[in-house]
Structure 1
């Protein structure tokens, strides 16, 4: 191979490297990418000779072009590409560009480690050969794993098969799904093998112990049941050695433990051969909301609820750096309410004491893109109730409520990095339905995850929208250890809800209500095992329990060990 044509081939290969190296660290569901090295391409054509030493501009009469070595692309694809180069007054430069286009066709089809080039030959006859070398995976080496076996890691990469040409798109999808496991992270690198045309793969594993204890605190409670909430749980991320993830958690109130008991369990099963996963979850809540004095006597509430859900997820092929998936699901929600009003008993509570169940089915689409300066994501879902209580029960729970309701939910987030470590971040959530809904399906406003400065879910409506905007400061070191980091922020939140059928949303005649809040806070990371958030918001509107001008602190602490 002469120097000129080696440089040409090297240029093609360097471009191929850039295409894949640019992906490193930008996956939405993982932090891995595939690097295709120049050594692979130069080694794959070892022993081949360069095109005949003619001027690149010299005219050639090309009567036929034959592509040798292709086993992966349809012949029709290649035939359409070579037909445009045949004819009189062609040049070697055009042949080299044809080889580049053929190689790009492999890349666009997702194949890595493939090189197309024009070997040395006598082109005066008009018959030209373009040679393709399809690199085959020869060996796979797994490093860095101790908690997860090599067989487990390989099972999560079904498209990394010895003897096959690497399909980069499929391997990338495998990495994405494997890295959904909270206890491990994979990075795959493809390099040249020991023989021409061979490709070796190195799988580097970053991992932790699959078994972890989860501890949490927040102040999302209320006056009746206590302001504080404590939770304890456990998670195992490799049950049966198959990456099954089981999580169990219990939450209560330290002030009134008998009044707040919430139990939940979740189970995640990856389906690597199907590029998807299945999630199942169950939650049981038993909350005594306390007693409120009224002119007719004390109003006492005691509520139980159960939620059971199943989700099927299918990861879609990445579009550039954009990761996305579709989800199908079904839920069963049972709201059990007990109510008594003074000496009148349950009959005086009206719709507030009605127990009701729903069984919505849903379809959702989720997508996100993460980069060094910009990260954003969207989620859209459509749900329709397919079962549960009777139409009469819906009418009793809320006059005008429809059993077979339909609703759509939308959400999105974005974060933009600025100079000096600053950033702008925003999140929006919305719900719309043309139907009157029962309380449990309404869109809520207020609280740490909504409009800050208010109680949790102070207002709710059949449809609504909420937005949170933040200016984040640079990450600051705290104390002597760099493991303790804090990031200050200021925020502005706003939301609006509305009801159908003339139902008030703020205890007055208003059917549309807004909340706004402003404030500041900080988010802290304490090594790898703990994180915390402290945010203080000032209410700009009157709500149910909160008055305009009130301040409220939102605190949460999470420990994983």
Structure 2
């Protein structure tokens, strides 16, 4: 599949949270008239029949007969400025506003605070707190996703008190589908105390077909990669997603690969996904050096994987923090390492059978966004006939079928003055075992270290850093007088670095490698029809690998173009 920069963007950009009914304090004539010399106490109740209209005088401070949150020090700080002070209609309106705001900041998005008619000469005021209960859930603006499908994503029952974290979690879940974006609006319901939820959706036809080119191959199997595929975002109206891609070289005998994934959002808002691939590869004549034209090296590789993803509750201390865990299994089988910069083809297959646990998180802030992904992989070995140590050691004398490793990717996009931005990424891997090529961390190519061939180095452990200074985006079509399409052109300067090592090697082999590069690049897009990436990298470190295969140029272009509809 194309990388994230090539995949369809959301039907609508990210927006702020739900729209709540506004509550402003408006001063009217006579509101400043003093009603009481000193406010002695406040009594909060949940219904009108709990109000003593004759008034009371035996309450000092705050008495809450509704929620525990009204007994917290934080709430006492909110109302303390009113206690011991004169009372007027204006001060009561402000008190009402502050109580509503306190509830909103504590996961109750819609609350009415009513001050009923009562005798307050005793210095005590009763307030009735009415929490908004869900009335109806309605959909608006959607064309390609049914009302029933969208409204079913709200898991709060009719008549249940609205909790903002739950509602926002439901909306975020809806917006995982890239073919739509939904905003939430609270509106007053038909009955007193009810609040309706309006789902305003902007969607697009849930089928995308695309084709493109990128020079992401290698010298063994040809550098050119042509791609064609589709994304179906509402399979049979079930909100499932089906993705498929065919990747091939000009000469399909050298490289051709099929990959597909199927994503199922479950009713309890977990996600089950399956993905698989199959690749046929053949070494290009002469790619392994002189006197190798007659070698007929052909290989094939396959993978079948599954993931079960569980979104996790938000951390109260970190506003906007979202995170999830995924548990899964990978089965891979291959008889070669040609796709990973190697040049070995074996008579027999080796099977990889491993379990995967992933934790991912995202934290936005006023200056940008930080994302984290960590993977923990373990293979017990011996799970099938070709999953034994001897199968692994046919590729690497020091590899075993029983292994573990961990991988981390940390990204930060930082806003800078004048609409510039700084992007940084750290990818690191730790392992005490020798790994096969598909599990190693690879360096070289546009995804890792530009200016080098794809996966010119591999390591069981190590790290890769990428740093980009990005310019403000500009619209070429807008300058040409065409406002129909929101095209974006962005320039960048990059520095890439990688240091990778194998855990155990033969005495005559090099154990670790370091590569680094700098260069310019650009990104151009006309969403959702066109995306172009172009980078040119100059190598800062010479790479001396004397196997006749991975000899690198001093610099190179990395190009990718995707056309979609």
Deviation per residue, 1:416-451 (Å, 9 max, x gap): 122222111111111110111122211100001000
- Residue equivalent to 1:520: 520
Residues 69, 75 of structure 2: 8 Å contact kept: no
2:144 maps to 1:156: no
- Residue equivalent to 1:34: 18
Instruction: Give the 3-state SS of the residue equivalent to 1:393 in structure 2.
Output: helix
Deviation per residue, 1:357-415 (Å, 9 max, x gap): 11111111111123563122111111101345112222333222122211000001111
Residues 354, 377 of structure 2: 8 Å contact kept: yes
- Residue equivalent to 2:563: 559
Seen in structure 2, the aligned counterparts of structure 1 residues 293 and 453 have a Cα distance that, compared at 3 Å, is closer
The alpha-carbon deviation at position 237 of structure 1 amounts to 0.7
Instruction: Give the 3-state SS of the residue equivalent to 1:151 in structure 2.
Output: helix
Trace 1:253-402 onto structure 2 (pairs within 5 A).
Answer: 253-254=249-250, 256-271=251-266, 273-291=267-285, 292-293=288-289, 299-319=295-315, 320-337=319-336, 355-371=349-365, 373-386=367-380, 387-388=383-384, 389-402=387-400
The 2-side partners of 1:531 and 1:93 are apart by: 64
The 2-side partners of 1:555 and 1:406 are apart by: 35
Q: Which has the higher helix share?
A: 1
The alpha-carbon deviation at position 80 of structure 1 amounts to 6.7
Deviation per residue, 1:178-208 (Å, 9 max, x gap): 1111111100111334554232322111111
The alpha-carbon deviation at position 351 of structure 1 amounts to 8.6
The 2-side partners of 1:66 and 1:57 are apart by: 13
Trace 1:16-165 onto structure 2 (pairs within 5 A).
Answer: 31=15, 33-38=17-22, 53-56=35-38, 61-62=58-59, 67=64, 70=66, 91=84, 106-107=103-104, 110-116=107-113, 119=116, 121-122=118-119, 129-159=126-156, 161-165=157-161
Residues 324, 368 of structure 1: 8 Å contact kept: yes
The 2-side partners of 1:241 and 1:32 are apart by: 28
Q: Report the TM-score, using the length of structure 1 for normalisation.
A: 0.80
Larger CA deviation: 462-471 vs 329-338: 329-338
Q: Report the TM-score, using the length of structure 2 for normalisation.
A: 0.80
Instruction: Give the 3-state SS of the residue equivalent to 2:36 in structure 1.
Output: coil
Instruction: Give the 3-state SS of the residue equivalent to 1:62 in structure 2.
Output: coil
The 2-side partners of 1:51 and 1:279 are apart by: 65
Seen in structure 2, the aligned counterparts of structure 1 residues 534 and 118 have a Cα distance that, compared at 3 Å, is same
- Residue equivalent to 1:436: 434
- From 166, 171, 174, the counterpart of 1:175: 171
The 1-side partners of 2:347 and 2:268 are apart by: 46
Extract unaligned runs of 5+ from structure 2: 1-9, 26-30, 42-56
The 2-side partners of 1:239 and 1:350 are apart by: 40
Seen in structure 2, the aligned counterparts of structure 1 residues 280 and 503 have a Cα distance that, compared at 3 Å, is farther
The alpha-carbon deviation at position 227 of structure 1 amounts to 2.2
Instruction: Give the 3-state SS of the residue equivalent to 1:318 in structure 2.
Output: coil
The 1-side partners of 2:34 and 2:126 are apart by: 12
Residues 52, 122 of structure 1: 8 Å contact kept: no
Number of residue equivalences: 508
The alpha-carbon deviation at position 281 of structure 1 amounts to 0.4
Deviation per residue, 1:22-43 (Å, 9 max, x gap): xxxx9x995462121225x99x
2:491 maps to 1:495: no
Residues 384, 407 of structure 1: 8 Å contact kept: yes
- Residue equivalent to 1:8: none
The 1-side partners of 2:206 and 2:345 are apart by: 46
The alpha-carbon deviation at position 132 of structure 1 amounts to 1.1
The 2-side partners of 1:296 and 1:547 are apart by: 16
Residues 530, 562 of structure 2: 8 Å contact kept: yes
The CA RMSD measured in Å over matched residues stands at 3.7
Extract unaligned runs of 5+ from structure 1: 1-25, 43-48, 340-348
- From 200, 205, 212, the counterpart of 1:204: 200
Residues 486, 522 of structure 1: 8 Å contact kept: yes
Instruction: Give the 3-state SS of the residue equivalent to 1:330 in structure 2.
Output: strand
Residues 113, 165 of structure 1: 8 Å contact kept: no
Trace 1:437-452 onto structure 2 (pairs within 5 A).
Answer: 437-452=435-450
